[in-house]
């Protein structure tokens, strides 16, 4: 066993951080028949503008994560899917300034309609091996490595 003081994870743990609220955001890796994943670019004016993300958004009061994701995919991309078409894949847990993001990522391979930007955002179908070419929020970086193994 490594000594606690020698490991980077331990160093991070002992830093004293002020308490913040945890925000639950759900996201989808929409996977097409060629194994490509849909990324959306965050529009100007939003936090993390210009970075590429998995479609999704915040879970509202009273919603299940799956209901929230079905709603977000309809609102953002104009597609319909169902809770039963969402397979839990992995999650991100990341401290931002002012809040802590907890983001389950679901795989979705079945939906109705053609994903179309409903909010002016750019879309790109990207192979997991090419995602490094698309700058993503810091919370997403561990997910990219996992997607390469999981999909």
> Which residues lie near ligand 8DG (CB under 6 A)?
25, 27, 46-48, 53-54, 56-58, 101, 103, 137, 139-140
State the nearest-atom distance from the C-beta of 68 to ligand 8DG, in Å: 9
**Does the CA dihedral 38-98-46-51 come out positive or negative?**
negative
Q: Which is nearer to ligand 8DG, 1 or 39 (CB)?
A: 39
State the nearest-atom distance from the C-beta of 111 to ligand 8DG, in Å: 16
Q: Which is nearer to ligand 8DG, 51 or 85 (CB)?
A: 51
> Do 29 and 105 contact (CB within 8 A), yes or no?
yes
State the nearest-atom distance from the C-beta of 10 to ligand 8DG, in Å: 25
The whole-angstrom separation of Cα 6 and Cα 17 is 20
Quick one: which of 2, 29, 15, 3 has its CA closest to 131? 29
| Residue 108: partners with Cβ closer than 8 Å, 6 or more residues away | 28, 29, 30, 31, 73, 81, 85, 86, 87
Q: Which is nearer to ligand 8DG, 35 or 135 (CB)?
A: 135
* Closest chain position to ligand 8DG (CB): 57
| Residue 148: partners with Cβ closer than 8 Å, 6 or more residues away | 128, 129
State the nearest-atom distance from the C-beta of 9 to ligand 8DG, in Å: 21
């Amino acid at each position: 066993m490594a000594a606690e003081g020698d490991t980077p994870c331990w160093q991070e743990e002992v830093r004293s951080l002020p308490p913040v609220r945890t925000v639950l955001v759900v996201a989808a890796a929409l996977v097409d028949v060629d194994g490509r994943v849909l990324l959306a670019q965050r529009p100007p004016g939003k936090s993390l503008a210009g970075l590429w993300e998995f479609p999704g958004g915040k879970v509202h009061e009273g919603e299940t994560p799956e209901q929230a994701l079905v709603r977000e995919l309809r609102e953002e991309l104009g597609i319909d899917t169902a809770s039963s078409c969402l397979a839990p894949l992995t999650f991100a847990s990341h401290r931002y300034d002012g809040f802590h993001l907890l983001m389950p990522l679901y795989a979705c391979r079945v939906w109705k309609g053609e994903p179309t930007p409903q909010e002016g955002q750019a879309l790109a179908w990207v192979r997991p091996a090419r995602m490094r070419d698309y700058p993503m929020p810091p919370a997403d970086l561990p997910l990219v490595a996992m997607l390469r193994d999981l999909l």
